[in-house]
Structure 1
Amino acid sequence: MTLPNPEFFAQFDHDQLVAADKAHYMHGFHMFDEHREQGSLNIAAGDGAYIYDTAGNRYLDAVGGMWCTNIGLGREEMADAIANQVRQLAYSNPFCDMANVTAIELCAKLASLAPGDLNHVFLTTGGSTAVDTAYRLVQFYQNSRGKPEKKHVISRLNAYHGSTFLTMSIGNKAADRAPEFDFMSDLFHHISCPNYYRAPQGMSEADFLDFLVNEFEDKILTLGADKVAAFFAEPIMGSGGVIIPPKGYHRRMWEVCQRHDLLYVADEVVTSFGRLGKFFASQEVFDMQPDIITTAKGLTSGYLPLGACIFSERIWQVIGEPGKGRCFTHGFTYSGHPVSCVAALKNIEIIERENLLAHVEDVGVYMEQRLQTLADLPLVGDVRCQRLMACIEFVADKHSKALLPDAVNIGEKIHLRAQAKGLLVRPIGHLNVMSPPLIISHAQVDEVVEILRQCILDTATELRQNGEYQGR
């Protein structure tokens, strides 16, 4: 896009936008008191890895929108592809015996990229609906094979699988479980988060891995393998704090699933389409073959809403058995939307043509190395980064790993300091999470690290002066 100029920003009435936002716009994960007092950062434009607020201030978006602006913002060829599709076919019924060309082409492309025999695709409107679809598919499959009792699901503590009623119940991130909401509990069970940083003191990583695998198998046996249908897992837990599991974790958990006839559902809503340097991470990065993959976010790089539930030939053969007269009575008005599908196809074309996966391997390793230079700073307990997924965990005491009081709001404090310096990181309690666009450069990684360094040091000084941090 053409970079915004002062005349572009002059069109916005900042005060009016703030007032309208406060009066009418209920955001996702709306913080009522904070929003009432502070309002929002109102974004007006984006270009590459940068976004601009209505006053024209520029920010390096190290959050990548919401883990999703993989190819960067403002690409003219994306705009042209979307506009051309709107002119050609803006909408088509996705149900029953109707299809459209771009949806067919996208499903074939996804099948070619997905690992193993994941040859079948159900298109959705985003990540939450992709995971919701995955569970409905699990139900349909188990009933179709004559196992109506096999419906229980095992997930992990601190997991995030979406924000529908069903998917929020599958996940179990404490901060997201507002007491004013209800959750399903009878079919969903949660085992330990694979966060070695929070393992019992003195436990080796190998012993921690054994504990996790044994806990999983014990949970299956306790519930009864004839009742447990599936294991839902993010390859790297995203919103839970970029939790990178011990080496071999997913392979061994998959082997447990194989022994006990569980489907392995890999929630790759975040990790797919280049974030870890591969189109899909399950097999190429973590050496296991899931039965179902859910994806969204980087599928269109955020240009339009779209998700997908990709599943195996084995599942397809069971649910679509000839002569049974079955109907998969599940769908969304906007799944397979032709304009969203053309955005996904163009997005994949750009990733392939510009060799962005190789770029992620290069710049991602550089980001891992540079972020580790922050590990010795005050407040920093752990630095977790794999390619372009990163998190800094802040603590009150490096030795005990004790957290600062919630009232300090440490992630938010550092986020706001960074924002004032033109950098966006995502605050999640005592964490700052990053997932920059795949196009980020070495120089921009340096900018992220240097701004964060100064913000962490300044925040530590402020907290010491206030008596809120002793610096141990």
Structure 2
Amino acid sequence: MAPPPPFGANSAAARDIANVLHPYTDLEAHQQVGPVVISHGKGVRVWDEAGKEYIESVAGLWCASLGFDNERLVQAAADQMRKLPFYHAFTAKSHEPMIDLAEMLIARAPVPMAKVFFANSGSEANDSAIKMVWYLNNALGRPMKKKIIGRLKGYHGITIGSASLTGLPANHRSFDVPLPGFVHTMTPHFYHGALPGESEDAFATRCADELEKLILAEGPDNVAAMWAEPIMGAGGVILPPRGYFPKIQAVLRKYDVLLVADEVICGFWRTGNYWGSQTLDIQPDILVCAKALSASYLPISAVMVNDKVFQALAQESHAIGTFGHGFTYSGHPVPAAVAIETLKIYDEMEIGAHVGIVGPYLQSELRRRFADRPIVGEVRGTGLIAAVELVADKAKVTNFDPSAKVGPRLTKLCEEFGVIGRAAVNDCLCFSPPLIISKEEIDEMLTRIEKALDELTVQLRREQIAVVS
């Protein structure tokens, strides 16, 4: 299909349409609409090939924590490329960047951890952790204890195992996932899930009770682990009710079910603490991280396991003769060197203290500017992660019909006003800006979004968009 005007035959947009298959994109519509081609970035801003400037309100994909032009990270990559551009970790080989990064992560872990396994993305890391859980239970002589619990609206990636953990319909439909052995418990979203008159504590107790019923229905001898993001990101920045995780963990301990904290989005100060686990009072057996680990300048992820998990892995690998899992690029020295420099920058900049200032400012400004608007149902978040959920009926907590594509329309209008945003399920506009953002940049970002929301409100009133229950 030939690209339509205004794309010239040799433009970047035309070449993209001709050759690129895009993730999370309507592939057929893309052939007509084409891409936004980003050419360069600086700080919290990026520019497209036509020179239009945007504030990146989601740090790319929740990940460009230090912005788009950190010279120290560029230099760290260049220096390592010259010294040792590649080596692997198979068959007991190692190198200094991998060793140093593992040491730094263990020192910073929210609970005592024993070892670190490296991969290249959050999806790969979660898939690796799934396999570790299965391997562990074989080592312990529990071959039936293999079922994995995720949560509805949870997001853990798009490889076959991690997509099975994920609880979002778009990640399942037509892909033939979830695989057998993956089950999902309820979403801990008080705004939508609470019963009339139910308190947050009572709702958290009901979430824990539902989890226990699920474990009993599946059989405690069959359930191996539960995965949880401290704050659910792609599901709409859902914060659990107060007391949720302590109640959940009590159930998991009762039935000897491991807890895996997916810190791919929440780790490295996003929630106001170094780890989301610290913000939400989580004591995981396994912790998965990625994204801000390298400020996303190069792909790298990590799986941290406690000693109980490691000892089982070691026992089984000795019996077999090898731990038969790994990636060519596990612990690749160049991304590892960039990740080391990233962690050093967080420490030297005291980025946590900065988030402690700009995070509450973002939260208060979002509520001041948007909470009372007629099509805004809930403003939620903590630290530098937040969401504004649009609704058709504020009093009844009724979302717009998905066919109206209200969230995607808002993100398109945001682009027109100079903000790149992210719409999640239930028409939630998500926020996860670079950690280096200033109060002045927050003000500029929100002023532009206000203009986009004003325009959307006018359009929806004019169109008299239908609602669903």
Compute the TM-score of the two structures, normalised by the length of structure 1. Answer: 0.94
Secondary structure in structure 2 of the residue aligned to 1:432? strand
Q: 2:406 aligned with 1:410, yes or no?
A: yes
Q: Contact 2:44–2:436 (CA<8 Å) still a contact in 1?
A: yes
Partners of 1:263 and 1:286 lie apart in 2 by 17
Amino acid at match of 2:454: L
Q: Which of 59, 62, 70 is the equivalent residue of 2:57?
A: 62
Aligned to 2:248: 253
Q: Which of 221, 229, 243 is matched with 1:226 structurally?
A: 221
Cα distance in structure 2, aligned partners of 1:119 and 1:232: 19
The within-5 A match list for 1:92-107 is 92-107=87-102
| Aligned twin of 1:195 | 189
Unpaired runs of 5+ residues, structure 2, are 1-6
Structure 2 partner of 1:295: 289
C-alpha distance in 1 between matches for 2:276 and 2:402:
34
Is 1:386 aligned to residue 382 of structure 2? yes
After alignment, is 324-333 or 242-251 more displaced? 324-333
Q: 2:299 aligns with which of 298, 305, 308?
A: 305
Secondary structure at 1:321 match in 2: helix
Matched, 1:450 2:447: yes
**Aligned equivalents of 1:320, 1:427: Cα separation in 2:** 43
Q: How many Å separate the matches in 2 of 1:397 and 1:329?
A: 53
How far residue 13 of structure 1 moved from its aligned partner, in angstroms, is 7.8
Q: Cα offset for 1:16?
A: 1.4
Q: Deviation of residue 136 (structure 1)?
A: 0.6
Per-residue deviation, 1:34? 2.6
**SS at structure 1 position matched to 2:66:** coil
Distance (whole Å) between structure 1 residues aligned to residue 341 and residue 291 of structure 2: 14
Q: CA offsets, 1:256-314, max 9 Å, x none?
A: 111110110000000001111222221x2122210000000000011000000101011
Q: CA deviation at 1:365?
A: 0.8
1:86-140 CA-to-partner distances (Å, cap 9, x unmatched) read: 0000000221121111011111111111122212100001100000011011011
Match of 2:3 in 1: none
How far apart, in 1, do the equivalents of 2:413 and 2:111 lie?
46
In structure 2, what is the equivalent of residue 361 of structure 1? 356
Q: Would the aligned equivalents of 1:150 and 1:228 in 2 still touch at CA under 8 Å? A: yes
Partners of 2:250 and 2:92 in 1: how far apart?
Answer: 38
Aligned counterparts, 1:104-183, within 5 A: 104-178=99-173, 180-183=174-177
Greater mean deviation of Cα atoms: 313-322 or 102-111: 313-322
Distance 1:14 1:335 in 2: 40
Counterpart of 1:466 (choices 456, 463, 466) is 463
Match of 1:74 in 2: 69
User: Residue 337 of structure 1 is aligned with which of 329, 332, 340?
Assistant: 332
SS of 2:239's equivalent in the other structure is coil
State how far apart, in whole Å, the 2-side matches of 1:202 and 1:96 are: 59
Separation in structure 2 between the aligned mates of residue 146 and residue 308 of structure 1, nearest angstrom: 27
* SS of equivalent residue, structure 1 residue 324: helix
Q: Distance in 1 between matches of 2:156 and 2:309?
A: 21
Code of the aligned partner of 1:435 = S
Which of 273, 278, 287 is 1:278 aligned to? 273
Give the match's secondary structure for 1:96.
helix
- What amino acid maps onto 1:378 in structure 2? P
SS in 1 for 2:40: strand
CA–CA distance in structure 2, aligned partners of residues 458 and 115 of structure 1: 44
CA contact (8 A) 2:401 2:466 kept: no
Specify whether residues 23 and 89 from structure 1 end up closer, same or farther in structure 2 by C-alpha distance, changes over 3 A only: same
Aligned-partner Cα distance in 2 for 1:290–1:220: 18
Deviation at 1:325, TM superposition (A): 5.0
Alpha-carbon distance change, 40 to 351 in structure 1, aligned in 2, over 3 angstroms: same
Secondary structure of residue in 1 paired with 2:24: coil
Give the letter for the 1:109 counterpart.
Answer: M
What SS class does the counterpart of residue 276 from structure 2 fall into? coil
State the one-letter code of the partner of 1:457.
D
Question: Residue by residue, what CA displacement relative to the aligned partner does 1:160-195 show, whole Å, maximum 9, x if unpaired?
Answer: 1100011101111123223x2111342011111001
Which of 433, 438, 449 aligns to 1:436? It is 433
Identity among equivalent positions (%) equals 35
Runs (5+) with no aligned partner, structure 1: 1-11
Distance 2:334 2:90 in 1: 16
Deviations 1:314-362 (A, max 9, x none): 1112221396354211100111100000000000010100000111111
Which one of 366, 371, 376 corresponds to residue 371 of structure 1?
Answer: 366
The answer to which of 61-70 and 92-101 deviates more is 92-101
The Cα RMSD (Å) is 1.7
TM superposition shift of 1:204: 2.2
